């Protein structure tokens, strides 16, 4: 049976030299994409080092030659679409067209509060994300953009020379609900899910949940973009180690992810704190996806 393509996440809480070393290791291991988180701080790692996503991706572009690179996921919590589009366009040139961009509504966590903004309702957050993502995609596709919305405006916003990738850098949309699924169907080249939000169910329950989410994406595509093909990415949580117990367990897990309709499986690269893929299991994971 087939297994999904392997991609990985390297968190930006390591010194840049260490971050780049892990990105190069992942490239040599055959990962399709190396993603990194796009936050200003993150949960239980908030009191430690945490570096900025865009400069790290630019450095990674210069330190690699084949692997794709991406943010997972950028949100309107602290990103304004006009200056961020300029950074994304520039990154696509630095990476010679190897950039992917994950986008999502953003959690109601520290990133949502750091700028002192008035808290938004769930509907307002959905409205803001739809406007933000639509404007971001438009900016990346056009030399000049005029836009006046409820949350954002762009007056004669220039994006010259535009992205290396045409019509723009591909967006990977994080979505779970019907509305965000429709946005993924309309704007996304790919869709990513983490499974049930902030839960850690047993692997079989997690697999059932992502399979149901994948069927929901099918419904959204049928509604707004019949016939579109969107790459589907499943991401294993940072603290989830059960699928990596042994080679047979992991292969069955990866095959089940593929059977649920997913093209790509994202794992966290082994970390000094022991989270992510256990270091002893890394060769097993790589071999499962690429052979010995």
Known catalytic residues? 39, 108
In this structure, are residues 190 and 232 in contact, taking their beta carbons and an 8 Å threshold?
Answer: yes
Kindly calculate the radius of gyration of the chain based on its CA atoms and give it in whole angstroms: 18
* 210 backbone φψ class: left, alpha, beta (φ>0; ψ -120 to 50): alpha
CB atoms within 10 A of CB 116: 5
Pairing label, strands 99-103, 68-74:
parallel
In this structure, are residues 233 and 192 in contact, taking their beta carbons and an 8 Å threshold?
Answer: yes
**Upstream peptide bond of 3 is cis (omega within 30 degrees of 0):** no
What is the rounded CA–CA span in Å between residue 169 and residue 189? Answer: 9
Closest CA relative to residue 84, chosen from 118, 132, 43: 132
């Amino acid at each position: 049976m087939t297994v999904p393509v392997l991609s990985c996440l390297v968190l930006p809480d390591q010194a840049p030299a260490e971050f780049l070393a892990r990105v190069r290791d992942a490239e040599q291991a055959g990962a399709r994409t190396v993603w990194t988180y796009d936050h200003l701080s993150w949960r239980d790692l908030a009191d430690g080092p945490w570096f900025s996503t865009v400069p790290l991706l630019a450095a990674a572009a210069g330190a690699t030659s084949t692997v794709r690179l991406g943010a997972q996921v950028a949100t309107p919590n602290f990103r304004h679409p006009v200056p961020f589009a300029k950074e994304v366009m520039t990154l696509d040139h630095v990476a010679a067209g190897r950039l992917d961009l994950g986008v999502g509504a953003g959690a109601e966590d520290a990133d949502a509060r750091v700028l002192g903004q008035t808290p938004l309702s769930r509907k307002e957050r959905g409205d803001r994300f739809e406007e933000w993502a639509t404007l971001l995609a438009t900016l990346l596709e056009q030399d000049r953009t005029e836009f006046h919305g409820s949350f954002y405006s762009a007056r004669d916003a220039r994006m010259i020379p535009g992205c290396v990738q045409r019509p723009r850098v591909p967006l990977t949309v994080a979505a779970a609900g019907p509305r965000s699924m429709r946005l993924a169907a309309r704007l996304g080249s790919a869709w990513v899910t983490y499974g049930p939000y902030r839960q850690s169910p047993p692997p079989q329950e997690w697999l059932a949940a992502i399979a149901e989410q994948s069927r929901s994406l099918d419904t959204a595509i049928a509604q707004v973009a019949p016939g579109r093909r969107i790459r589907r990415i499943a991401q294993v949580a940072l603290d989830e180690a059960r699928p990596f117990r042994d080679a047979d367990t992991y292969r069955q897990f990866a095959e089940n992810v593929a059977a649920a309709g997913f093209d790509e499986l994202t794992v966290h690269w082994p970390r000094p704190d022991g989270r992510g893929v256990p270091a002893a299991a890394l060769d097993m994971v790589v071999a499962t996806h690429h052979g010995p």
